[in-house]
Structure 1
């Protein structure tokens, strides 16, 4: 245990976040997501809701502010404008840890899968709600 770190950030996840560089992407996904088939490193946080994992990750990882979007959710199949309740929870975590200037973008389901296939790693959560998936682009840590 370390001071000041969210206890969800275990050794494997912390090492992954530390190894990522500016512009690398991380997928945080629900229990239905086909993570193992992507061929990316998979970190499991079974039993933990996706918004909770997102908050823990954003407590130590900055989002990229050099690009128009640095966080994306999966669009609802057949209704890309639909707002699932979990999307507002994702937005809340982003605003709380970063700022309101960060927008939650959206990607069509198969575009999301393809982008996740290129991610640095995939964190599988215990999220059971549909569309509990988010991609994050890592930013830079600026000196104080």
Structure 2
């Protein structure tokens, strides 16, 4: 056990976060996200965090790594498809609040990728973590910053 490390971060997740350099990207896929497929296609690491919500994992990760300050939007979410335009996505507000607690830019640190662009970028990431998050459109990508 370690002091000050959120207990939901498994040894594999902690090791992965330590291995990542600035500019590397980690994806938190919701329970519906085809994470294993994109990790295999892109040759990136794939980890599971079954039973852990996307909000809890995002908060825990941002407790131990900073968002990249060299890019305008280091946190990217999956944009809704046109057919879901009227659908409310309350988890986005939760993600915004979590990011604001850890990054002075708040909501300005968050951007959106169109669904298929999100998939494409996920395959290029350092790691995809499949969470137990059941909310839809709850996929989030974080670009790691420099630890000073």
Same fold (TM over 0.5): yes
TM-score (norm 1): 0.93
Which of these residues, 95, 111, 120, is aligned with residue 105 of structure 1? 111
| Separation in structure 2 between the aligned mates of residue 117 and residue 16 of structure 1, nearest angstrom | 16
Q: What SS is found at the alignment partner of 1:59? A: helix
Q: Which residue of the partner structure matches residue 122 of structure 1?
A: 128
- What is the aligned partner in structure 1 of residue 2 from structure 2? 2
Alignment check: 8 A CA contact 2:103 2:109 kept: no
- Residue 98 of structure 2 corresponds to 93
User: Which structure has the highest helix share of the two?
Assistant: 2
Question: Could you tell me whether the CA contact under 8 Å between 1:72 and 1:104 is conserved in 2?
Answer: yes
Gaps of 5+ in 1: none
SS at match of 2:64: coil
RMSD: 1.5
Are positions 1:59 and 2:63 aligned together?
Answer: yes
Structure 1 stretches of 4+ moved >6 Å: none
Post-superposition offset of 1:55? 0.2
Q: How far did 1:42 drift?
A: 1.2
Separation in 1, partners of 2:104, 2:58: 14
Partner of 2:95, secondary structure, is helix
Give the C-alpha shift of residue 8 in structure 1: 1.0
Q: How many residues align structurally?
A: 142
Distance in 2 (CA, whole Å) between partners of 1:83 and 1:106 is: 16
Question: Which deviates the most, 68-77 or 94-103?
Answer: 94-103
Q: Kindly indicate whether the alpha-carbon contact (under 8 Å) linking 1:71 and 1:137 is maintained by their aligned counterparts in 2.
A: yes
In the alignment, the residues of structure 1 paired with residue 101 and residue 122 of structure 2 have an alpha-carbon distance, to the nearest angstrom, of 24
